[in-house]
Chains A and B, each alone.
Chain A
């Protein structure tokens, strides 16, 4: 695979580097977003159940 990357000259390493950077940022932000949704869902579900019981 290194040979394939080197066939693009230095850009074979620059592009993956920038891609890793951007994808990592997106992934971390995405994880935060899904965690937020999960928390909100959990609370709403809990409240809905409580209201049913009452």
Chain B
């Protein structure tokens, strides 16, 4: 049996269902202590920023969420390639399973950004580069989900969403760049929520730990959603019934 056959077998729905079970469990086991440690560092250990005061702590949840909102979109784009070129069912599930979590992280980025802006800049909303791009990204997530659901044929819907995702991923850097460029035209310098000052080491650790926590969380939720999407789309088949203990 050649390498590609082996790889194809690994990516088959029943295999995927089986090996993700352990991954999901371990990601949850690792996530909770990481989260708690990160929160401890962020809220109690790290010092207050000398410019922004305590509110800089919001960065430790805002930035990981922002990073995840982008990472998830790129992950979806990678899956989209698998959907369009090889029509892999597992890729379809992985792509669609990532969208809700990506949208959630985008929303959290927006909300925490607003709550950070109020004590820092005196206003809840600014059309700065990051918040504006995140708002656009949020709609891009919604568009993909809405498009996939608008199709009565699920697999065609996934393929259409894949096309949109790939068009979006090409446009995404352009959108982010255009918004930054637009800002420099208006303000003469880029205003960033984070500020130009470099982050002190003691402020870096909570950020990194919470970033790790969000990645573990995403893996757990994503793989779990994906495997059940596959179960749902293959609910008539023998391997599903066998895994659920319903085999005749």
Contact = CB atoms under 8 A, between A and B. Distances in A.
Interface of A: 2, 5-6, 9-14, 16-18, 20-21, 24-25, 27-29, 31-32, 35-36, 39-40, 42-44, 46-47
Nearest to B117: A13
B215 interface: no
Contacts of A28: 100-101, 104, 221
Interface string B47-88: 000000111011001100100000000000000000000000
B231 interface: yes
Nearest to A54: B248
Interface string B18-60: 0000000000000000000001001100000000011101100
A47 B243 CA distance: 13
Interface of B: 39, 42-43, 53-55, 57-58, 61-62, 65, 100-101, 104-105, 107-108, 111-112, 115-116, 118-119, 217, 220-221, 224-225, 228, 231-232, 235, 240-241, 244, 246
A11 B54 CA distance: 7
Contacts, number: 88
Contacts of B224: 32, 36
Nearest to A51: B248
Given A21-B65, A25-B217, A32-B225, A14 B58 contact: yes
A20 B246 contact: no
A24 B244 CA distance: 30
Nearest to A27: B104
Contact of A17 (B61, B217, B228, B244): B61
Contacts of B107: 24
Given A9-B54, A28-B100, A31-B100, A17 B225 contact: no
Nearest to A2: B118
Given A29-B221, A32-B225, A47-B241, A21 B53 contact: no
Given A28-B101, A43-B244, A35 B108 contact: no
B54 A21 contact: no
A24 B220 CA distance: 15
A47 B55 CA distance: 55
